[in-house]
Amino acid sequence: MVFTRGSRDDWDRWAEIIGDGAYSWDKMLPFMLKSEKLVQDSENQTEEGHIDPSIHGHDGTVSNTAPYNNHPINEMLMQTTQDLPDEFPYLLDMNNGSPIGIAWNQFSIDRNGERSSAATAYIEPAGDNLHVLINTQVTRVLHVGDDESCFRGVEFAADVESPKKQIVASKEVIIAGGVIGTPQILLNSGIGKREELEAVGVTTLIDNPSVGKNFTDRVSSIVMFNTTIQDTDFDRDRALAEWNTTRTGPLTLPGHLNHIVYLRLPDDAAPFSQEGFTDPTPGENSPHIEMVYSQISAHLPQTSIDIPSPPPGTTNVMIQLFVVNLHPISRGSITLNTSDPFKHPIVDFGMLSEPLDIAIMREAFKRARDLYSAPAFQDSVFGTLVPAGNVATDSDIEDFLRIASAPYLHAVSSAAMSGYNAS
């Protein structure tokens, strides 16, 4: 996975909202450094110009590395940072707290070209200090003792047919069921909005209308450019054999390409200066837009986005680029539709329900076209195939985005933290 810390302004805003300075960038950075182990990639390529080792941790347990392949687009993107430095500056390290520009991507991959994760970094080395119940689902957390807010009990079962079991923690229970599972557990436990819980027959123990609300995911869409740049296709069987033997080759990278682009819109960008929207980001260190590369190929990428077909007869190789609104203000929700904890809750992404979010996506789309109109691409990129080149007005672009957008699967905030004693 992409190894990303976010911007210092994002952390600082979070700390401010919850009223706890411990979550600020400056206070969190030592923990980021402590957990990280920056390693050289499995192909022993130079890190110079790709990453700034001085701002990384080297003795932690989660591996980070910046593997890359040699592809002509690398040079073209780097050239663009020189030709158009105001719009597309060069960013030596995407994890410097101010991620704005074109950077070489970083990934949670270890020295051996294998995925590094919470499981490899923390569970494997934990020894007897940790027990993991696999194939087990938490159905509720349980109120224990006189304090009405104390939920130290956990109820769980293997499946809907199995008997439910209960345990009580001596100190505390941490619910980490992810952006859907966490509110589902809380709601099934009677912690949520009273009327909604009553509607599905769950007894309310704590009437907290915020649980399951504020569900927020980034929005992504795709843009594909007609190009003569060499494709990134490879023979998967051969690549797997190479990775198995020497831990080298295309499968040392999660994707086909090497760069990530973070853009901050200027104050005079149309959404703010012409349409009057308030900047949704927390500050000048935060990008509005991310661009990530999928591949250069005549084949369409695997994605949940409903990609409109390229023009009939198109067999062209295309640069395939995802554009992402990083600070959407649209909000969705997670709601129970039954008191059965083994049934899925209702997931409403609420995507693009706020006009600002579409305005930012429109800018993202235009910036993608700017990027591939840069001098370095003049002889090798020839406009968009998806959407068609004549999709040019704001309303055309919006129509396209409403068809060809999807959640970016970076959702947060459905069980958001709040300050102490928040109402």
Beta pairing partners, 322: 222, 292
CB of 398 to ligand FAD, least distance (A): 26
Closer residue to ligand FAD (CB): 2 or 160? 2
Nearer to ligand FAD, 1 or 422 (CB): 1
**Least spacing, CB of residue 105 vs ligand FAD, in Å:** 9
Helix, coil or strand: residue 226: strand
4 vs 98, beta carbon nearer ligand FAD: 4
Q: How far is the CB of 96 from ligand FAD (least distance, A)?
A: 16
CB of 107 to ligand FAD, least distance (A): 8
Question: Nearer to ligand FAD by C-beta: 4 or 208?
Answer: 4
Of 144 and 409, the one with the shorter C-beta distance to ligand FAD is 409
Question: Which residues bind to ligand FAD, rule: CB under 6 A?
Answer: 1-2, 4, 137-138, 176-178, 181, 185, 409-410
331-362 exposure pattern, b = at least 16 Cβ within 10 A, e = fewer = bbbbbbeeeebeeebebebbbbebebbbbbbb
- Please answer whether residues 409 and 325 qualify as being in contact, where contact means their C-beta atoms are separated by less than 8 angstroms: no
CB of 69 to ligand FAD, least distance (A): 18
Amino acid identity for residue 346 in this structure: I
Residue 1 CB, nearest distance to ligand FAD (Å)?
3
Looking at beta carbons, which residue is closest to ligand FAD? 181
* Feature table: binding site: 138, 408
Structure tokens, 265: 């819109």
Question: Percent helix, strand and coil across the chain, each rounded to 5?
Answer: 30, 20, 50
> Of 107 and 400, which CB lies nearer to ligand FAD in the complex structure?
107
3-state secondary structure of 401: helix
Please count the other Cβ atoms lying within 10 Å of the Cβ belonging to residue 168.
11
CB of 314 to ligand FAD, least distance (A): 27
Q: Give bridge partners of residue 283 from the DSSP assignment.
A: none
Q: How far is CA 286 from the centre of its chain?
A: 15
Q: Which two tokens stand for residue 139?
A: 């159905």
SS (H, E, C) 251-276: HHCCCCCCEEEEECCCCCCHHHHCCC
At 365 the three-state DSSP class reads helix
- Could you give the dihedral angle defined by the CA atoms of residues 264, 268, 270 and 273, in that order, rounded to the nearest 10 degrees? 130
SS3 state at 246: helix
**Sequence ranges of the binding site for FAD:** 138
Give the annotated binding-site residues for substrate. Answer: 408
- In the bound state with ligand FAD, the residue whose beta carbon lies nearer, of 331 and 362, is 331
